[in-house]
C-alpha cells in the first residue's frame, strides 16, 4: 500500500504535470520500478475517475498490480514499462484542448484502461508466428487480431478478478465494447483501415461545432493505433 500512497502523493505534490514533463524512465526510477500502477493511480485521480465511480483505492491498486504482473518482464518491448509509456502518450493526447472538454468520464475511463492493458500478456511473438505454429491463441481467435483479442480479454479478466468491475456494473457492457474497440485498433494490419476513416479536418470541425461521438472515437482509436512508444527495457 506504500506504493499506492506514493502514486497519490505524486499528483498532490506535483507543481507540474508529472505525466507530461517526465519520461517514463524517470517515473520508473521515482517509483522504484512500479511505474505502471503508480502512473495509473495518479491518472485515475487526476481525471476524477476514482471519485466519479466511487472506486475503492485498494481494489484499484489490485487491478493495476494484476495488469502489471500480466506483462512479461522478460519481454524486451511489450512489457509494463511500454504499457506505462503508451498510457502516458494517451494522457498527452487526451490533454489536447480540442479533446478533453468533450470527454465523458466513461470515455476517459475506456481510453486509459485500453492504453494500460493494450499489450497485456503479450507472448513476445507476433501473430504470424502464432498462426504458423498453430498456437492455441490463433485457434481461439480464428487467426484474426489474435494478440489484440487476447489483450482485451485479459484486461476484462483483470477487471473482474480485481473486483473493480463491481463498481462499474452500470456501464460494464458498453465499457467492454469501448475497451475492445480501442485495443483491437492497435492491430497493425488494420491501421490503414482506421486511417482511411480519419480526417483531421473533419475531426476538428465536428468537435468544435458539434460533438460527433463516432468520429471522435476514430480519433481516439488513431491514438491507440499509433501505439506511440519505442521503449525497450533491458
Ligand atoms: Zn504496444
pLDDT tens digits, 50-98:
999 999 999 999 999 999 999 999 999 899 999 998 898 888 888 888 7
How many angstroms separate the alpha carbon of residue 207 from the centre of ligand 1?
Answer: 27
The answer, yes or no, to whether residue 21 has pLDDT greater than 90, is no
3-state secondary structure of 127: helix
Q: What are phi and psi of 160, to 5 degrees?
A: -75, -50
pLDDT: which is higher, 142 or 200: 142
- pTM comes to 0.82
Q: Is residue 58 part of a domain?
A: yes
Q: Is residue 75 part of a domain?
A: yes
The answer, yes or no, to whether residue 131 has pLDDT greater than 50, is yes
Q: Is residue 18 part of a domain?
A: yes
Highest mean pLDDT among 9-23, 82-96, 165-179: 165-179
- Long-range contacts, stretch 138-146, CB < 8 angstroms, 24+ apart: 145/184, 145/187, 145/189, 145/190
The answer, yes or no, to whether residue 207 has pLDDT greater than 50, is no
Binding annotation for Zn(2+): 82, 118-119
Q: Is residue 140 part of a domain?
A: yes
Binding annotation: 82, 118-119
Q: Is residue 149 part of a domain?
A: yes
Please give the helix or strand (H or E) that residue 203 lies within, else none: helix 200-209
How many angstroms separate the alpha carbon of residue 26 from the centre of ligand 1?
Answer: 19
Q: Is residue 231 part of a domain?
A: no
CATH value at residue 114:
1.10.1300.10
Q: Is residue 32 part of a domain?
A: yes
- Out of 47-61, 88-102, 123-137, 218-232, least confident range: 218-232
Q: How many CA atoms lie within 13 A of 105 on its CB side?
A: 13
How many angstroms separate the alpha carbon of residue 78 from the centre of ligand 1?
Answer: 6
Q: Which domain holds residue 60?
A: 2-226
Query: How many CB atoms lie under 10 A from the CB of residue 140?
Result: 12
Q: Is residue 193 part of a domain?
A: yes
pLDDT: which is higher, 192 or 3: 192
Q: How many independent structural domains does the chain possess?
A: 1
Q: State the average pLDDT for the chain.
A: 81
DSSP 8-class letter at 125: S
Amino acid at each position: 500500500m506504500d506504493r499506492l500512497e506514493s502514486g497519490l502523493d505524486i499528483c498532490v505534490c506535483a507543481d507540474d504535470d508529472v505525466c507530461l514533463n517526465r519520461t517514463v524512465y524517470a517515473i520508473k526510477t521515482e517509483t522504484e520500478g512500479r511505474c505502471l500502477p503508480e502512473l495509473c493511480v495518479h491518472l485515475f485521480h487526476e481525471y476524477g475517475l476514482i471519485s466519479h465511480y466511487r472506486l475503492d483505492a485498494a481494489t484499484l491498486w489490485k487491478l493495476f498490480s494484476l495488469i502489471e504482473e500480466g506483462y512479461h518482464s522478460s519481454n524486451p518491448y511489450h512489457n509494463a514499462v511500454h504499457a506505462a509509456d503508451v498510457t502516458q502518450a494517451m494522457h498527452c493526447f487526451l490533454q489536447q484542448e480540442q479533446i478533453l472538454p468533450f470527454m465523458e468520464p466513461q470515455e476517459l475511463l475506456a481510453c486509459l484502461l485500453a492504453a494500460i492493458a493494450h499489450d497485456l500478456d503479450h507472448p513476445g511473438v507476433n501473430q504470424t508466428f502464432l498462426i504458423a505454429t498453430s498456437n492455441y491463441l490463433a485457434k481461439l481467435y480464428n487467426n484474426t487480431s489474435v494478440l489484440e483479442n487476447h489483450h482485451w480479454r485479459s484486461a476484462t479478466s483483470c477487471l473482474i478478478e480485481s473486483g473493480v468491475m463491481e463498481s462499474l456494473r452500470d456501464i460494464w457492457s458498453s465499457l467492454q465494447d469501448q475497451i475492445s474497440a480501442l485495443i483491437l485498433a492497435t492491430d497493425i494490419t488494420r491501421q490503414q483501415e482506421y486511417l482511411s476513416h480519419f480526417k483531421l479536418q473533419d475531426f476538428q470541425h465536428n468537435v468544435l461545432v458539434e460533438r460527433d461521438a463516432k468520429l471522435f472515437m476514430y480519433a481516439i482509436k488513431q491514438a491507440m493505433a499509433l501505439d506511440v512508444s519505442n521503449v525497450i527495457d533491458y
